[in-house]
Amino acid sequence: MEHKNLQIEAVNLKFAEEGRKFSGYASVFGGVDSYGDTIMPGAYKQTIGNRERPIQMRFNHLPGVIGKWTRIEEDEKGLIVEGELTPGHSKAEDAYALLKHGAISGLSIGYRPVKAVENQHGGVDLHEIDLVEISVVESPADMAAQISDVKSAIEQAETRKEFEELLRNAGGFSRADAKALVSRIKSLGHRNDGDPDNDSADMASIFQQLKL
């Protein structure tokens, strides 16, 4: 599953006067993100209308719901959502406090691309998306601890499978992209000195350069 964040200044976050209700944009159309990708108008039409299971509300894309989305619709700007955090849920209360304080980076979608066409920016134009969940995500400062955890995991990872899992879970890579990158790193390591024992060092070096 892939993720795309929307920074707080683009969310247009609004709160109801009572309860734990809020609304805003989980995604906007037309812009080119840091990966060179653009989400096109109409990308969510099929997933909104045909999805059998509800689209989950999560915190930092972690398993477990913290509330429910009561409205998910496309308009001319993007994907507008209205949600309600579950009262008394510990993680929901944390998310609500962060939202109210403005101490988060925004909202982020978890999705699988269905129809994507390569574009001139080095990424893809996403014409159809299978939307799985929408997360409230923390601020960059709050992500520092997670970055430290990732660096520790880099040092401990020794096998190809462990690096693939790390790419997928920490780096936001799809399964196919993670496998492709790990394979490429292995081939470069073999080309340089022919010693497969150096694969872990080569992979760790690449991770550090990617700043994961």
The number of residues in the chain equals: 212
The DSSP H or E segment spanning 187 is: helix 175-193
190 included as an active-site residue: no
Which is catalytic among the residues 2, 27, 105, 108? Answer: 108
- CA atoms within a 13 Å half-sphere pointing along the CA-CB vector of 11: 26
Per DSSP, 81 falls in state E
One-letter amino acid for residue 178 of the chain: A
- DSSP for 107-160? EEEEEEEEEEEE-TTSSEEEEEEEEEEEEEEE-TGGGHHHHHHHHHHHHH--SH
**Nearest residue to 39 (alpha-carbon basis) of 147, 135, 116, 141:** 116
Check if 133 is active-site.
yes
Catalytic residue among 61, 135, 164, 200: 61
Amino acid at 127: H
Which of 133, 135, 138, 200 is the catalytic position?
133
SS3 106: strand
**Could you give the residue numbers annotated as active site?**
61, 108, 133
